[in-house]
Structure 1
Amino acid sequence: MAVKKNSTFRLLSLFLLITTLCAESFVPLRRFLFVNKKSSWTKAQHYCRKYYTDLATIRNQDETGALLNLIKNGGWIGLYRKTPKSDWSWSGGEAADVTQWEVENNDTGRNCVFNFNEKGKLWRAKNCMTAQPFFCHDEEMFLVKEKRSWEEALEHCRSTAATVIRGPPYVRPRRSRLYDLASLASGWDRHRAQDLIQEALTDQIWSGLRFLGDRWLWVSGQRKKSRQLPLCPAWWQRCGSLHRNNSIHWEARSCREKRNFLCSRRAQ
């Protein structure tokens, strides 16, 4: 009996270890990029959101290490506060769980953070208008903690890292889109989304699911089959959302509702 209990315990321990390893494999490190272009913090944020995902946001010590590998003379990261009395938060709205201050500065004129590698791996608060190089990050899928309608969310995702491709003078310039509202067609996408939406500020989160014609479709063009969604929804409830506490439950909602939303990189 004791042998059987020990065997069961070992199998359970192995199962938990494998489960943990598999879960961690679904959370890849962000790709960090150093931009050697001196800008104010706000202009740096605009640049990163236009060409990548956002100003560098650091979630854990592993990502701190990845960013430090790029540091030469330092640069802006995505940490800031709205006023001297506000809490520090990241450009995308996340709370600052990881911090590495040189000295936490309460100076009223220093509300943005500069990352440098002098005498250690430290952060320093600076005036947001100071021109500095900066760090951006890029990732496959991300949560936007802003309240937008479905159409507004779609436009936000599509404008992230978008570039204008110009051809001959007689051809109208076209926009190359790198991101879209998230199409959660694969198991990997749904698993990643489940992790991300736990941080949402709204109960319902927009994805790239829309009823068009006579079927539910992802913005990527793939068809979505689900018993949870009506076969013929009311005309004002033709956008698909998922619940923060249940990422496998889909609901047909009014496209005008203001929700947080998921963006993901388009397949190339």
Structure 2
Amino acid sequence: MAQTLYFPLLLITLCSISECVQRQYHFINERKNWTEAQRYCREKYTDLATVDNMNDMIQLNKSLNYGFVENIWIGLHKTSVYKWHWSSGDPVSFLNWASGDTVYSDQCTVMNNGQWIDEACNNSRIFICNSTSTGLVFADQMMTWRAAQSYCRQNQIDLVTVKNQNENQQLEKFINDRNSSGSEVWIGLFSDPWQWSDQSDSSFRYWADNFKDYGTCAAIQPSKQGKWGDYFSVYNQLPFVCHEDKLIVIQQNLSWSEALRYCRQNHVDLVSVQSVEMQYKVMNVVKLASTEAVWLGLRHSCALGIWFWVSGQTVCYQNWAPGNGTSEEDCEPTVRSGAVQSGGNQTWISRPETDRLNFICRNSSE
């Protein structure tokens, strides 16, 4: 007998601007060295805590018992490999060095005449912040890179990110119109050897002002308003924070309807992607898939001629690949559903709902 899947008849028409938190955090009040804490988290949950942004940090803080001043392990540890990161957490997909820079140490990045130069992060430069309300903000103050990062996070959003050549040219013009001295300007690109235990690409860092980069593993410091310090994993026995993923890739090849039913029976639902932040979280997990595309909780209504999420919301934030996601989908011979590509730019595509793909479930009702 055919089974019918019921969807909300009333679609929420307002766009959600709140971030969906990818992880649930669990504070473990047992003292272990970092390696022992990592083993415990991997056995009981997913891994030692990963933090993608300040929203994650706020959620993590809610899980903590700050009734004492002991430091608390998280999942960040030092490796021997240096990589470039954006302070905002955006993936590094574009570089514009004045020369072929290869990173061997902690460095930060200035822009000069549209080209990028790496230099010591402790140098003092003027800088550019990015704000969701006002766009680019020119900060005509001399600060170290880390102080500039803190200033931007407190007053705007973060140090500016540059994703492509067009944005680089726009930023160059913005700087030239305001920077009469021609001084070099900090942007949000930095390098470090730190890596999350779960291999996440997250470049979020929340180091305290006294951070010296001598230790091997990171810990939250309650005495420093929850900012992080670095400590030696072997010599310190600390409580710690684990995380449990709120998104999970199911490596089974099912039709969209079967995937929806699986998620609702075994987890909460197929994932809805209602913000660029949630898209980044999907991008983090979709690389684990074994199919070239992965089902999302995205569905096309032939009767209404619209796309909607199974959570009941219309599609406000969009990340469609060119030629996909139109309101005039061909509903014959089958209804169309939405998937995210597991490679390339990981944009969304329209597929017949009978295709058999991996899919992403969410473990939280948030």
Mark yes or no: TM-score above 0.5.
Answer: no
* TM-score (normalised: structure 1): 0.44
Structure with higher helix content: 1
Return the TM-score normalized by structure 2. Answer: 0.33
Which one has more relative contact order, counting CA pairs under 8 Å at least 6 apart? 2
